[in-house]
Structure 1
Amino acid sequence: MVDVAAADEETAMAFQEAITARWATATADRTTREPGQPGVRLRCYVDLRQTLDSQEQKTS
Protein backbone atom coordinates (compact mmCIF):
# COMPACT_ATOMS: atom_id res chain seq x y z
CA MET A 1 0.00 0.00 0.00
CA VAL A 2 1.23 3.48 -0.83
CA ASP A 3 -0.16 6.56 0.89
CA VAL A 4 0.49 9.75 -1.03
CA ALA A 5 0.29 13.24 0.46
CA ALA A 6 0.38 15.96 -2.17
CA ALA A 7 -0.30 19.68 -2.48
CA ASP A 8 -3.12 19.10 -4.97
CA GLU A 9 -5.12 16.40 -6.75
CA GLU A 10 -3.25 16.83 -10.04
CA THR A 11 0.09 16.08 -8.36
CA ALA A 12 -1.26 13.03 -6.50
CA MET A 13 -2.77 11.58 -9.69
CA ALA A 14 0.45 12.23 -11.65
CA PHE A 15 2.41 10.29 -9.02
CA GLN A 16 -0.06 7.42 -9.20
CA GLU A 17 0.24 7.37 -13.00
CA ALA A 18 4.02 7.22 -12.76
CA ILE A 19 4.05 4.20 -10.43
CA THR A 20 1.35 2.46 -12.50
CA ALA A 21 3.79 2.43 -15.41
CA ARG A 22 6.24 0.35 -13.34
CA TRP A 23 4.15 -1.86 -11.06
CA ALA A 24 0.81 -3.61 -11.07
CA THR A 25 -1.35 -1.14 -9.19
CA ALA A 26 -4.93 -0.98 -7.95
CA THR A 27 -5.52 2.69 -8.66
CA ALA A 28 -7.65 5.18 -6.80
CA ASP A 29 -10.12 7.31 -8.72
CA ARG A 30 -10.17 10.23 -6.30
CA THR A 31 -8.23 11.93 -3.54
CA THR A 32 -9.41 12.79 -0.04
CA ARG A 33 -9.03 15.93 2.03
CA GLU A 34 -8.90 16.17 5.80
CA PRO A 35 -10.68 19.23 7.22
CA GLY A 36 -8.19 21.79 8.49
CA GLN A 37 -5.23 20.07 6.82
CA PRO A 38 -3.46 21.34 3.69
CA GLY A 39 -3.26 19.24 0.52
CA VAL A 40 -4.82 15.94 -0.46
CA ARG A 41 -4.23 12.24 0.19
CA LEU A 42 -4.39 9.26 -2.10
CA ARG A 43 -4.03 5.56 -1.28
CA CYS A 44 -3.23 2.92 -3.87
CA TYR A 45 -2.17 -0.71 -3.65
CA VAL A 46 0.97 -1.78 -5.46
CA ASP A 47 2.24 -5.28 -6.26
CA LEU A 48 5.97 -4.86 -5.79
CA ARG A 49 6.67 -8.39 -6.99
CA GLN A 50 6.12 -7.47 -10.64
CA THR A 51 9.47 -6.97 -12.32
CA LEU A 52 10.27 -4.56 -15.11
CA ASP A 53 11.01 -7.60 -17.32
CA SER A 54 7.38 -8.71 -17.12
CA GLN A 55 6.23 -5.29 -18.39
CA GLU A 56 8.50 -5.64 -21.41
CA GLN A 57 7.23 -9.16 -22.11
CA LYS A 58 3.59 -8.05 -21.99
CA THR A 59 4.19 -5.40 -24.65
CA SER A 60 6.18 -7.70 -26.95
Structure 2
Amino acid sequence: MQIDEKHIAEPGLVVMDVTAADEETARVVMNGLQQWWATSGVTPVWRVPGEEGVRSRVYLDIRRPGRPGPPDF
Protein backbone atom coordinates (compact mmCIF):
# COMPACT_ATOMS: atom_id res chain seq x y z
CA MET A 1 0.00 0.00 0.00
CA GLN A 2 1.44 3.35 -1.05
CA ILE A 3 1.72 6.26 1.38
CA ASP A 4 0.15 9.44 0.04
CA GLU A 5 2.67 12.29 0.42
CA LYS A 6 0.02 14.59 1.92
CA HIS A 7 -0.05 12.36 5.02
CA ILE A 8 3.62 13.13 5.78
CA ALA A 9 3.87 16.56 4.16
CA GLU A 10 5.16 18.32 7.27
CA PRO A 11 6.86 17.60 10.61
CA GLY A 12 4.58 15.96 13.15
CA LEU A 13 2.53 13.92 10.65
CA VAL A 14 3.00 10.14 10.83
CA VAL A 15 1.74 7.11 8.93
CA MET A 16 1.98 4.02 11.11
CA ASP A 17 1.39 0.47 9.92
CA VAL A 18 0.23 -1.82 12.73
CA THR A 19 0.81 -5.56 12.52
CA ALA A 20 -0.64 -7.75 15.26
CA ALA A 21 -1.52 -11.38 15.92
CA ASP A 22 -5.26 -10.65 15.97
CA GLU A 23 -7.84 -7.94 15.28
CA GLU A 24 -8.52 -7.18 18.94
CA THR A 25 -4.85 -6.47 19.63
CA ALA A 26 -4.60 -4.15 16.62
CA ARG A 27 -7.72 -2.26 17.74
CA VAL A 28 -6.43 -1.89 21.30
CA VAL A 29 -3.17 -0.39 20.01
CA MET A 30 -4.96 2.04 17.67
CA ASN A 31 -7.30 3.08 20.46
CA GLY A 32 -4.32 3.72 22.74
CA LEU A 33 -2.61 5.85 20.08
CA GLN A 34 -5.69 8.05 19.67
CA GLN A 35 -5.64 8.75 23.39
CA TRP A 36 -2.17 10.30 23.04
CA TRP A 37 -2.49 12.13 19.71
CA ALA A 38 -4.95 13.15 17.03
CA THR A 39 -5.34 10.10 14.77
CA SER A 40 -7.50 8.70 12.02
CA GLY A 41 -9.07 6.58 14.75
CA VAL A 42 -9.50 2.83 14.75
CA THR A 43 -9.18 1.93 11.08
CA PRO A 44 -10.16 -1.26 9.22
CA VAL A 45 -8.04 -4.35 9.82
CA TRP A 46 -7.07 -6.71 6.99
CA ARG A 47 -5.15 -9.92 6.39
CA VAL A 48 -2.51 -10.50 3.74
CA PRO A 49 -2.92 -13.98 2.23
CA GLY A 50 0.00 -16.22 3.15
CA GLU A 51 1.25 -13.93 5.95
CA GLU A 52 0.71 -14.22 9.69
CA GLY A 53 -1.38 -11.75 11.67
CA VAL A 54 -3.51 -8.79 10.72
CA ARG A 55 -2.61 -5.30 9.56
CA SER A 56 -3.97 -1.81 9.77
CA ARG A 57 -2.78 1.69 8.99
CA VAL A 58 -3.30 4.70 11.23
CA TYR A 59 -2.51 8.35 10.53
CA LEU A 60 -1.26 10.48 13.42
CA ASP A 61 -0.71 14.16 14.03
CA ILE A 62 1.61 14.21 17.04
CA ARG A 63 1.43 18.02 17.21
CA ARG A 64 -2.14 17.73 18.54
CA PRO A 65 -2.58 15.94 21.86
CA GLY A 66 -5.36 13.47 22.38
CA ARG A 67 -7.17 12.88 25.64
CA PRO A 68 -5.24 13.65 28.83
CA GLY A 69 -3.81 10.78 30.82
CA PRO A 70 -2.07 7.54 29.89
CA PRO A 71 -3.42 5.33 27.08
CA ASP A 72 -5.63 2.36 27.91
CA PHE A 73 -3.44 -0.37 26.42
Give your verdict on TM over 0.5: yes
How many residues align? The count is: 54
Counterpart residue number, 1:40: 54
Identical aligned residues as a percent: 41
What stretches of structure 2 of length at least 5 have no aligned partner? 1-14, 69-73
Matches of 2:40 and 2:16 in 1, distance apart? 10
Equivalent residue number for residue 8 of structure 1: 22
Amino acid at match of 1:18: G
- Structure 1 residue ranges (4+ consecutive) displaced by more than 2 angstroms after TM superposition: none
Deviation (angstroms), 1:30: 1.7
CA RMSD of aligned residues (A): 1.6
Deviation at 1:3, TM superposition (A): 0.4
2:64 is aligned to 50
Q: TM-score, normalised by structure 1?
A: 0.79
Q: Which has the larger radius of gyration?
A: 1
Q: Larger % of helix: which?
A: 1
Q: Provide structure 1 residue ranges, at least 5 long, that are not aligned to the other structure.
A: none
